[in-house]
Amino acid sequence: MAFKTIIVEQEEHVTLIQLNRPDALNALNAEMLEEISTALSEAEQNEKVRCVVLTGSEKAFAAGADITEMAKKSFVDVFSTNLFAEFSDNMLKFRKPIIAAVSGYALGGGCELAMMCDFIIASDTAKFGQPEINLGVMAGLGGSQRLTRFVGKSKSMDMHLTGRFMNAEEADRSGLVSRIVPAKKLKSDAMATAAKIAEKSAIATMAVKESVNRSYETTLNEGLLFERRLFHSLFATHDQTEGMDAFIEKREPQFRDK
Ligand code: HXC
């Protein structure tokens, strides 16, 4: 499908979704959110796709929700349409691994979009922030909840209340990102990471994603039980036998996603 606000490329088993509204620093307008949802739905249905990378430009991953689009809306508009709820649901229901590759600004909805991915690889120029307070509003796509879980209450409050930005080094130190790479290598590093994930058993990667995400939703004991049962259930798969046999026979496994 032809898109206007994103560029979608396929490299072997990895789909690259690049946000592409350079004149607005990739501000997330309704059209872009719809196109990301469509691209994800296509990636979900395409059996060849085993991992997704979501990225922006070198200057901006995304500088937030589109302020010009939001400015004229009333409470009734946003409440009655449940603004951003459908997009949030679309991100959450995506079952394949999705990596955010962040360079430059990831602000407001941009920071929230990155946090909705499974993990974030940051370039050394990345800047994260929840500056909605400067617009007289607050985070609306999960920022107050997810950032707090990533970096703790004190830093999250600081970020949301002052609107200050966090650089890549602080984001790494605080656990917001998995690692930092030089800006010029961000795309190739994220694609190589995705390709490595694509080599694994898709059943196991889906189970990992469900189990780690469950840790946010439940108590430790329930989470441990959920993990143990998923672990047990993987012993019903071909890929468990193959993975362990391959290790013992000192060869590469041939996973079949079953
Ligand atoms: C619409 C935006 C935008 C945004 C930047 N632009 N951010 N347009 N929505 N969120 C536009 C600018 O208006 C400008 O357009 C062009 O992109 C370049 O931006 P500049 O400001 O000229 O660039 P610079 O001086 O380098 O400053 C970069 C910046 C600044 C620090 C990122 O643009 C900025 O503060 N942007 C807003 C960040 C923000 O508040 N984000 C949160 C949004 S609210 P023109 O036409 O003038 O060239 C939000 C709510 C989330 O995200 C709730 C749920 C999703």
* pLDDT tens-digit series, residues 65-104: 999 999 999 999 999 999 999 999 999 999 999 999 999 9
* Region label for 181, one of left (φ > 0), alpha (ψ between -120 and 50) or beta (otherwise): beta
Whether residue 243 is found in the same domain as residue 157? no
Quick check: is 258 in a domain? no
Q: How many domains does the chain have?
A: 2
Quick check: is 254 in a domain? no
Quick check: is 220 in a domain? yes
Whether residue 191 is found in the same domain as residue 242? no
Whether residue 169 is found in the same domain as residue 233? no
Quick check: is 24 in a domain? yes
Closest-CA residue to 96 (of 55, 53, 51): 51
Quick check: is 253 in a domain? no
Whether residue 160 is found in the same domain as residue 47? yes
Whether residue 106 is found in the same domain as residue 222? no
Question: Mind telling me the catalytic residues?
Answer: 65, 109, 112, 132
Instruction: Evaluate if pTM is beyond 0.90.
Output: yes
How much distance in Å is there from the Cα of 29 to the middle of ligand 1?
Answer: 12
ipTM: 0.99
Whether residue 157 is found in the same domain as residue 214? no
How much distance in Å is there from the Cα of 23 to the middle of ligand 1?
Answer: 10
Q: Which helix (H) or strand (E) holds 96?
A: none
Quick check: is 168 in a domain? yes
b/e burial code for range 153-183 (CB count within 10 A of at least 16 → b): eebbeebbeebebbebeebbebebbeebbeb
Whether residue 70 is found in the same domain as residue 86? yes
Whether residue 27 is found in the same domain as residue 88? yes
Quick check: is 257 in a domain? no
Q: What is the pLDDT of residue 1?
A: 74
Quick check: is 89 in a domain? yes
Residue nearest to atom 15 of ligand 1 (CA): 24
Joined tokens for residue 196: 């490595």
Whether residue 141 is found in the same domain as residue 166? yes
pLDDT < 50 regions, the chain:
none
Closest-CA residue to 254 (of 244, 241, 240, 242): 242
Whether residue 220 is found in the same domain as residue 116? no
Provide the mean pLDDT of the chain: 98
CATH number for the domain harbouring residue 32:
3.90.226.10
Whether residue 115 is found in the same domain as residue 216? no
Q: Ligand 1 pocket, 36 CB below 6 A?
A: no
What domain range is 237 assigned to? Answer: 202-248
